[in-house]
Amino acid sequence: MRRRLTAGAVATATGLALLVGLPSTSAGAAPSTATTDYTVVAGDGVSVNDAIAAITAAGGTVVSGNAAVGTFRVSSAAADFRARAASSGKLIGAAARKPVGYAPKLSPLEQPVTDGRHGGSKPGVPKADTLDDKLWGLQMVRADKARTIEKGERGVTVGVLDTGLDASNPDLAANYSSRLSRNFAPDIAEIDGPCEVASCVDPTGTDDGGHGTHVAGTIAAAANGTGVSGVAPNVTLVELKGGQDSGYFFLDPVVNALTYAGDAGLDVVNMSFYVDPWLYNCKANPADAPEAQAEQRAIIAGISRALNYAHKRGVTLVAAAGNQYDNLNDPAEDVTSPDYGSDPYYRPIDNATCFTLPAEGPNVIAVSSVGPSTAKAVYSNYGTEQINVAAPGGFTRDLFGTPQYNQAANNILSTYPLKVLQANGRVDADGNPTVPTVFKDCTAAGKCGYYTYLAGTSMASPHAAGVAALIISKYGHRDLWRGGLTMNPDLVAARLFRSAHETACPEPRLRSYVQEGYTTAYDAYCSGSKSFNGFYGHGIVDAYAAVGGRK
């Protein structure tokens, strides 16, 4: 059985937390005409100086480093740099600057309905903001009722580790902290297109991908009478741009964002991305070449150290379980990795030593996805070893046999950048939606926001992150060091689990999606009891019960 990764030793930090522009020279490296960027992870207990010396000996030049977790950004023109780094006794390995995560704009199986079959509003949803009657997920987690007890405290900060955050939307502007927000992921022209600014570092408060903006709205869109409202409408949103505009995530920005979250005293971080270029990062898969094995060990170590670092400093970590419709207790073989940079090949997956990150990382609350009927969404990963809780993520083909079947309204409506909608042709040059699944709503002052439907575990995770923020708002104590509120992440998780609405496995336990139009490859077996099972974990998150309301 595969268990979650546990805390391990962290590389010794004997210098500044962030090392910038450290010069080094290359020694004895095989020549190459091209320079490649890498993220190198030091071995456990290795000092900064020893790590830099080992990198130099392998033919690399240190550009910057995060000594808190022993990771270094390195450039090298040596063709054999990865092999030399892997063979060093001081280094775990080198990960080329390839994606270690991807934030899909929607689940691979949930295409948006754009032909008018948007299904209108889900009946019976209380309306606070203009579009709240379309937020069935808000009602399912009882966030509407939770507001009678707790709306969230401004001193509670939620980091959105994603593609960015469009703070021009009036629903997000009210709760957005420009002071705390950071961009850790400069644009890369080869995958993101031409840089919009000379430095290639997009200003915070922008989002050229859209995914992070959608996530942020579900967590904490303001209850201001227009647009939509979030699960925790009074908490503070912090942009942690760790993903590229194209949706890819690299190891170095993700690690730096997580350690910053710990240092800045953020209370919650939502991570709605899944790991690439390897569907599963394995410690020593015999199908992988030695350099690929070392690269995956470096990714596992780097992300795990950063997660541990943030958790130790009071950050509650919440992540999407993934959209591969896989039983994570017994994952299928991998024939899609690596999915970037080189051709994929067949890889048997050892459940004990292969991990999907960050969901299976240490101290992470992993969230599966359900549709409006509470059925597990067809795309959602599942498994008793990994899933902690479930939350609304959308399922277009839910509610089979009813008029609501195959409607976009079965997905999650949230904030979205105007720029991205216009680029996709879903809003015209005058700012008017061209499809019925995009909504425009304006304040009395004429400031307009835009909203659209998406589906995926990426949409489920922010519902749980919002509930975690409400728990800290209700039960946290004053942070005398950094101000605001704080709460032990383990206590936050315990209350989140204890308050979740227990949801039993379906009968029969083998859930078929054939009637919804899928093959038997998507069938999923639910194991476990009503109090804890592979589809729902401890249950569907319940904001009202989490802040003291009756279950």
Tokens describing residue 251: 């190891």
d(CA 429, CA 433): 10
Percent over 90 (pLDDT), the chain? 80
CA 269 vs. chain centroid, Å, equals 9
Exposure string over 161-183, b if 16+ CB within 10 A, otherwise e: bbbbbbbbbbbbbbbbbeebbbb
Residues 224/421/164/281 CA torsion (nearest 10 deg): 130
pLDDT grade for 445, boundaries at 50, 70 and 90 = very high
Give the strand pairing for 524-525 and 510-511.
antiparallel
Mean pLDDT, range 404-418, rounded to an integer = 97
Return the bridge partners of 477, or none.
486
Strand arrangement of the beta sheet that strand 438-442 belongs to: 412-415, 448-454, 438-442
Under 8 Å CB-to-CB from 480, ≥6 apart: which residues?
none
- From 18-32, 204-218, 253-267, 456-470, the region with the lowest mean pLDDT: 18-32
- Nearest Cα neighbor of 150 from 541, 523, 474, 500 is 474
pLDDT on residue 27: 46
Q: Helix (H, G, I), strand (E, B), or coil: what is residue 439? A: strand
The tally of CA atoms less than 13 A away on the side-chain side of residue 535 is 26
Mean pLDDT lowest among 69-78, 94-103, 122-131, 441-450: 122-131
| Partners of 347 in the β-ladder | 334
The stretch 296-321 carries a mean pLDDT of: 97
Answer whether 275's CB lies under 8 Å from 322's CB: no
Beta strands 438-442 and 448-454: pairing type?
Answer: antiparallel
- Whether the pLDDT of residue 100 is over 70: the answer is no
pLDDT-based confidence at 250, cuts 50/70/90?
A: confident
* pLDDT the model gives residue 14: 28
Q: What rounded mean pLDDT belongs to the chain?
A: 90
Q: Which range, of 36-50, 54-68, 271-285, 320-334, averages the lowest pLDDT?
A: 271-285
pLDDT value for 104: 63
Torsion angles phi and psi, residue 93, rounded to 5? 165, 180
pLDDT tens-digit series, residues 349-368: 988 999 999 999 999 999 99
Least confident of 124-133, 211-220, 308-317, 473-482: 124-133
Q: How confident is the model at residue 277 (pLDDT cuts 50, 70, 90)?
A: confident
